[in-house]
Amino acid sequence: MPSLDRSFRLATQSVLLQIDGVHMSRHAVGGVLMMLSALTAAACWSHRTDLPKYDPSLYAAANPTPVASPTPALSWSEGAEYAIVVRKHEHTLTVYHWTAQEKVYPVVLGIAPSGPKTYRGDLRTPEGVYRIVWKRPHDRWSRFMLLSYPNDSDRQRYAMALTEGKVPVIDGRAPGPGNAVGIHGTDREEQNAHGVDWTWGCISLLNPHVEELYETVPVGTPVLIEE
């Protein structure tokens, strides 16, 4: 593998690891990430031989063509008492109780809100069906409810992106699909109040809202996140 200029490699790694601590607009962050993805993938991709392979049949099975419906189809909730739908384009989180709409909360999302999450550090919020796997009080964000990301569809999306050279590979290492995506409160109340997306991919509510949600929905609650 051709060696990358050492200063470029160090700068790239520093940006990917520390960008959350830098005060940048979401447009600036998106531009930086797109530039780094293109440069590192072009320099490194052709020399990787040990990465997961994309299986088109598995991806198609995990991503059936959606059927349009004028009302929310909750068949994916498998008869659960509570279900959650996050609509990214609306920046809302809706709670359903026995399929009846009960509550709607405003939310903010990852800094790069459009499109499904593909790899760690892309700053996108996932899209798909998940479950709340555990929930706990949180010192920084009041409450945290972990989602079952990545699911099988997410893993296939990641493998496809690797195959197509769309995941940045630095020093022969790819970042992986990511994890620790959840629903939580905020320590940036002003940004939440103004609808400014600031997370690394999680779904953030105002603290009074996340505390109410935390007390309402149990572990195991299905969560649909859609564009």
Domains of the chain: 6-50+75-226 (2.40.440.10)
Taken as a whole, the chain contains a residue count of 227
DSSP state at residue 122: S
Cα 92 to chain center, whole Å? 15
Mean pLDDT of the chain: 79
Residue 67 — φ and ψ, nearest 5°? -105, 120
Residue 176 — φ and ψ, nearest 5°? 85, 170
pLDDT tens-digit map of 3-14: 444 444 444 454
Cα 36 to chain center, whole Å? 19
pLDDT tens-digit map of 96-150: 999 999 999 999 999 997 899 999 999 999 999 999 999 999 999 999 999 999 9
Identify the residue whose tokens are 């990358």: 4
pLDDT at position 115 is 93
User: Helix, strand or coil for residue 170?
Assistant: strand
The reply to whether the predicted model has a pTM over 0.85 is no
CA–CA dist 148, 143 (Å, integer): 17
User: Helix, strand or coil for residue 96?
Assistant: strand
Residue 61 has pLDDT above 70, yes or no: no
Taking a C-beta distance cutoff of 8 angstroms, is the pair 28, 185 a contact? no
* Angle 115-60-63 from CA coordinates, rounded to 5°: 45
